[in-house]
Amino acid sequence: MLSEVLLVSAPGKVILHGEHAVVHGKVALAVALNLRTFLRLQPHSSGKVDLTLPNIGIKRAWDVARLQLLDTSFLEQGDVTAPTPEQVEKLKEVAGLPDDCAVTERLAVLAFLYLYLSIFRKQRWTKEDLELINKWAFQGERVIHGNPSGVDNAVSTWGGALRYQQGKISSLKRPPALQILLTNTKVPRSTKALVAGVRNRLLKFPEIVAPLLTSIDAISLECERVLGEMGEAPALEQYVVLEELIDMNQHHLNALGVGHISLDQLCQVTRAHGLHSKLTGAGGGGCGITLLKPGLEQPEVEATKQALTSCGFDCWETSIGAPGVSIHSATSLDSRVRQALDGL
């Protein structure tokens, strides 16, 4: 049982290189993004379990006594179990969400309830056990995504940078912390449709698209090599190579048909400020990343951010290669984070 407030955070994730090619057996590089999700666990004596997720407008509560009456025998079938469709339907009944509930809200609540019932009932939670955290985080991903790759939960657990190929995940040793801009074009897209589009293009033009995928694979491998050489004392020449790789990958992704006019605009705006950008993730809108070289003056960074926001985009200055899941004392948190948590 918790006897005091526990503060935990985990990083976000972006794909550095290898989007779409990874679906066809090529290498992808994923990096931990230092835009973190914070969790506060606080005991109280109301007899309820309260869940508050302010960023997506969720505030729910359940009676502990009612949760304890649920049939949770399926939790005893192994170490870390995946939810079946029948179990997800039972969780929907417990959640008590309205029919018009947004998909993001519904999935977040279901993932929380599944993990809460599984972990706290079995009393297996140990903050030191990263392997167990990663396994349970993967099960939460399965509630939300159905058949996830395992990259998102692995990056959030371990941090740094990971190499992913055909289901095998390995950590890059001592990746440098690179400063970037993360820009959300706010253009919605369907990952499923974009992946299908690349597959159709490969079937239609195999002698053209297959070499593109092989070339993207080579870009990922070259980036992995450069990051390994940068260590803690990166040279300016290595940043130039990273910029060239970003440009080449972006052109390849456009050739695969997963670009978008909003992403072209993002690249044009940052190029006007001497910076290099590419899409990250599925493409077709969504987000892009921009590499910030050392020595770049802050007024120039701010001018770039302002130019991007003037396009209607959201933009954050952050870093990649961030630490994984972490425990914090309240005094170690940024004042804005403390204020947000205190307002829950």
**Residue 148: CB partners within 8 Å, gap ≥ 6?**
138, 141, 142
d(CA 203, CA 213): 13
- Single out the residue of 321, 324, 325, 326 nearest to residue 160, CA to CA: 321
**Residue 211: CB partners within 8 Å, gap ≥ 6?**
none
DSSP E strand boundaries for 241-321: 276-280, 287-292, 314-320
306: tokens are: 């302002």
Q: Are 311 and 288 in contact (CB under 8 A)?
A: no
d(CA 276, CA 249): 11
d(CA 290, CA 307): 13
Distances (CA, A) of 272 to 176, 188, 304, 311, 318: 26, 25, 9, 14, 20
Residues classed as catalytic: 152
